[in-house]
């Protein structure tokens, strides 16, 4: 029940922020046609992603709670690898979403934003935005993702895809976003982020290459962090699972 309540609080926090942004912040830049054009910003993409993800996590926690029995659930003894994450489509989808997008994107948004803000806030969050975006919302968007993701990591053992599959997917996601910045620049005539105006063409090319690598780096950081917390359960190794299940079955027979 506590796990469900935690997820519900996080989900409501994100949902309130998203609704506030749509209804009260709206479009703050000249020439923007609708709220959906704001999806070119990584912060807004992350807000939508985190809202959807924690909504699914809340649903997943409710389902787990309803199906949990004294002999089956997160609190019983496990002779094999952790089994408190069922292999339903919802659980598998949440794990993939967490590994490939939620963890990397959430961490990148927070670290990059506050790093640039510390150097020169005008490069990432001009003072004019203070009139549109309240302080609490700024912290939900650019500070809260880290603790929320860490809490989720401690509550649930996420199954990660293979290292090669995760690397390819994270690089692809990074490339798609960085290429979209060039597309927006081509049609709108300006760069989405002010700091890109200060870059030369060569530096922008390096940025184009470096950004997808950042996605991959944070994918592996998330993988490593899950390993530290949950051990071998992070990666489903079939042969190991079979041996441990067989050993558990033998122990039951000998009792």
Domain boundaries, the chain: 2-254
The DSSP call for residue 69 is B
Per-residue pLDDT of the chain (255 residues; tens, 9 = 90+): 788 899 999 999 999 999 999 888 866 554 556 778 888 899 999 999 999 999 999 998 888 777 765 555 554 444 443 445 566 788 889 999 999 999 999 999 999 999 989 998 888 888 888 888 899 999 999 999 999 999 999 988 888 888 888 899 999 999 999 999 889 888 888 888 878 888 888 888 888 888 899 999 999 999 999 888 887 656 554 444 555 556 666 666 666
Name the pTM for this structure: 0.81
CB 102 within 8 A of CB 49: yes
Give the integer Cα–Cα distance in Å for 120 and 124. 8
Between the CA of residue 245 and those of 45, 232, 233, 249, 255, what are the distances in Å? 42, 14, 14, 6, 16
213's tokens:
């690598």
* Number of helical (H) and strand (E) elements in the chain, helices listed first: 9, 0
Give, rounded to a whole angstrom, the gap between the first and last alpha carbons of the chain: 33
Residues 6+ apart with CB under 8 A from 194: 122, 123, 124, 126
């Amino acid at each position: 029940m506590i796990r469900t309540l935690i997820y519900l609080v996080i989900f409501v926090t994100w949902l309130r922020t998203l609704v506030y942004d749509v209804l009260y912040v709206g479009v703050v830049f000249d020439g923007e046609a609708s709220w959906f054009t704001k999806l070119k910003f990584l912060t807004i993409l992350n807000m939508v992603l985190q809202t959807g993800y924690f909504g699914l996590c809340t649903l997943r926690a409710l389902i787990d709670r309803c199906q949990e029995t004294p002999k089956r659930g997160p609190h019983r003894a496990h002779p094999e690898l952790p089994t408190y994450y069922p292999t339903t489509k919802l659980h598998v989808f949440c794990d993939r979403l967490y590994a490939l997008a939620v963890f990397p994107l959430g961490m990148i948004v927070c670290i990059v934003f506050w790093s640039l803000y510390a150097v020169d806030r005008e490069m990432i969050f001009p003072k004019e935005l203070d009139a549109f975006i309240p302080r609490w919302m700024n912290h939900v968007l650019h500070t809260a993702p880290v603790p929320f993701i860490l809490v989720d990591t401690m509550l649930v053992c996420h199954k990660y895809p293979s290292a090669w599959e995760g690397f390819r997917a994270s690089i692809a996601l990074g490339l798609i976003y960085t290429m979209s910045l060039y597309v927006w620049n081509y049609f709108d005539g300006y760069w989405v982020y002010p700091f890109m105006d200060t870059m030369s063409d060569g530096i922008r090319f390096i940025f184009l290459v470096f950004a997808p690598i950042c996605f991959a780096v944070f994918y592996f950081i998330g993988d490593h962090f899950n390993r530290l917390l949950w051990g071998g359960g992070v990666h489903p190794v079939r042969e190991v699972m079979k041996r441990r299940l067989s050993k558990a079955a033998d122990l039951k027979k000998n009792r």
